[in-house]
Amino acid sequence: MESVHRYSGARLETFCKAALEALSVKPEDAAIVANCLVSANYQGIDTHGVARLPTYMRRLAQGAIDPGATPVKHAGRGAVAIIDGKNALGPVAALAGMEEAIKLARLHGVAYVGVRNSNHFSYAAHYCELAAARGLIGICSSGGEPTVAPWGGVHPFFTNSPLALAAPTSAAPVVVDLATSVSSRGSIMLAKLLEQQIPMGWAQDKAGRPTTDPAAALEGSVLPMGGAKGYALIVALEILNGVLPDGAMAPHIGSQAGHDGKPAKVPHFFMAIDPAALMPYDHYIARIDALIAALKSAPHTDPDSPIRLPGERRRRIESDRKANGIPIPPGVLNELKAAAEQYSPSCKEIL
| CATH number reported for the structural domain that contains residue 24 in this entry | 1.10.1530.10
- Summarize pLDDT for 196-248 with one digit per residue, the tens: 999 998 999 999 999 999 999 999 999 999 999 999 999 999 999 999 999 99
Q: Total structural domains in the chain?
A: 2
Q: Would residue 268 show up in a list of annotated catalytic residues for this protein?
A: no
> The domain containing residue 9 runs over which residues?
1-61+313-351
Q: Are 281 and 175 within one domain?
A: yes
Are 130 and 269 contained in the same domain? yes
**pLDDT (0 to 100) of residue 190:** 82
Residue-wise pLDDT for 27-56, tens only, equals 999 999 999 999 999 999 999 999 999 999
Q: Do residues 54 and 137 both lie within one domain? A: no
Q: Residue 302's pLDDT is what? A: 87
- Together in a domain, 128 and 156: yes
Helix 27-42 with 90-108: angle, nearest 10 deg: 90
* Whole-number pLDDT of residue 216: 95
Please tell me the predicted confidence (pLDDT) of residue 2.
Answer: 66
Query: Does the residue 197 lie in any domain?
Result: no
Residues 157, 160: Cα–Cα separation, whole Å: 10
Residues 249, 117 share a domain: yes
Q: Sheet of 110-118: strands edge to edge? A: 72-77, 80-84, 110-118, 266-273, 137-142, 162-167, 174-179
Residue in 41, 340, 25, 22 with CA at minimum distance from that of residue 349: 340
In a domain, 189, yes or no: no
User: Would you say 267 and 143 are in contact if contact means Cβ atoms under 8 Å apart?
Assistant: yes
Residue 305 pLDDT level (bands cut at 50, 70, 90): confident
Separation of alpha carbons 180 and 202, rounded Å: 12
Do 171 and 240 belong together in one domain? yes
pLDDT by residue (tens digit) across 105-138? 999 999 999 999 999 999 999 999 999 999 999 9
Between residues 347 and 269, which one has the greater pLDDT? 269
* Position 306 confidence tier, pLDDT thresholds 50, 70, 90: confident
- How does residue 189 score in pLDDT terms, banded at 50, 70 and 90? confident
Are both 77 and 142 inside the same structural domain? yes
| Catalytic site residue from 74, 120, 126, 268 | 120
State the chain's mean pLDDT as an integer.
Answer: 94
Residue 266 lies in a domain: yes
Distances in whole angstroms, Cα of residue 88 to Cα of each of 63, 64, 69, 207 = 11, 10, 5, 35
Same domain for 77 and 55, yes or no, is: no
Q: Which of 251, 272, 297 is the last residue of a domain?
A: 297
Rama region for 291: left / alpha / beta (φ>0; ψ in -120 to 50; rest)? alpha
Asked whether residue 204 is assigned to any structural domain, the reply reads: no
Which pLDDT belongs to residue 4?
86
- The larger pLDDT score, comparing residue 189 to residue 148, is at 148
Continuous H helices in the chain: 9-21, 27-42, 53-61, 90-108, 125-132, 185-193, 214-219, 228-238, 281-296, 312-324, 330-343
Which DSSP letter does residue 148 get?
B
For residue 292, pLDDT over 70 is answered with yes
CB 144 within 8 A of CB 119: no
Answer with the residue of higher pLDDT: 313 or 346. Answer: 313
Q: Is residue 262 within 8 Å of 117, Cβ to Cβ?
A: no
How many residues in total does the chain contain? 351
CATH of the domain at 104: 3.30.1370.60
What pLDDT digit, counting tens, does each position of 235-272 carry?
999 999 999 999 999 999 999 888 888 999 999 999 99
Residues 175 and 293 in one domain: yes
Domain annotation covers residue 213: no
Per-residue model confidence (pLDDT) at position 122: 96
Question: Is 331 within the bounds of a domain?
Answer: yes
- Same domain? For 163 and 18 the reply is no
